Amino acid sequence: MEPVKPRDQFFESDIRLSGFVLVDTTTGAMRDATIDDHYHDLDGLDLNASVPEPVVSYINVVKNLYLYGWLCYPFFTVCQTHAAMAVEMALRLKMPNATGMEDKRTLKPLLQRAIAKGLIQDAGFPSLPAKQAEARRSTKNWSKWESRPTFSPLCRSSRFWKSCCLISGTSSRIRTMRGS
């Protein structure tokens, strides 16, 4: 059962985050993640200026949930759920229901229709092998880490799923679980 966090520990990071470290792939040095690293995970997740305000606002709530995950680990799951809801909201606004009836479309058919209309393309969502290849190109010493059994695999949704490694742009750091 998930306990209520004691008041005297409220501003401390959730103990479960101590299982993650950042690794400098050029030196092999490991260090604990900080709140600044946590904020850095959101870099590059800005929305296009044409995105409607309700979607921007909802995505900001999702980002805040992610940041509050630093304090309460289960918020990461809530964050993922709300990220999917934000996508559904955006697709409903982009492709209004033309039937005149109550809109009961769910995320899956909305995604299927958006793909069929060319609104969503694979090029915008790199696959796991593509992300791994990019990581190898941007990180000189990747191969020495790739073969180490202590590293969990990369994940397509790594920014919102903390049990996977996070590759930080062009920096030579990866986030991984301790002893995984």
Residue 104's alpha-carbon distances to 58, 109, 113, in angstroms, are 20, 10, 14
User: How far is residue 96's CA from residue 180's CA, in Å, rounded to a whole number?
Assistant: 45
pLDDT digits (tens, 9 = 90+) for 16-58: 888 888 887 788 888 888 899 889 888 888 888 999 999 999 9
* Residue that the structure tokens 């899956």 belong to: 108
- Sign of the Cα torsion 23, 27, 31, 34 reads negative
What integer pLDDT is reported at residue 54 of this predicted model? 94
Instruction: Quote the crossing angle between the two packed helices 107-116 and 75-94, to the nearest 10°.
Output: 50
DSSP 3-state of 158: helix
pLDDT tens-digit series, residues 69-82: 999 999 999 999 99
pLDDT (tens digit, 9 = 90+) per residue, 126-144? Answer: 666 776 676 666 544 433 3
Contact 60, 66 (CB under 8 A): no
Q: Name the pTM for this structure.
A: 0.69
Identify residue 100 by its one-letter amino acid code.
G
Looking at per-residue confidence, does 133 or 167 come out higher? 133
The CA-CA-CA angle for residues 17, 18, 21, to 5°, reads 95
CA dihedral over 27, 31, 33, 37, signed as positive or negative: negative
CA distance 59 to 48: 12
DSSP for 12-41 reads SPPGGGGGEEEEETTT--EEE--HHHHHHT
Q: Which of 6-10, 29-33, 115-119, 151-155 has the lowest mean pLDDT?
A: 151-155
CA 28/CA 142 separation, integer angstroms: 10
Domain range annotation of the chain? 7-177
> What is the rounded average pLDDT of the residues 140-160?
32
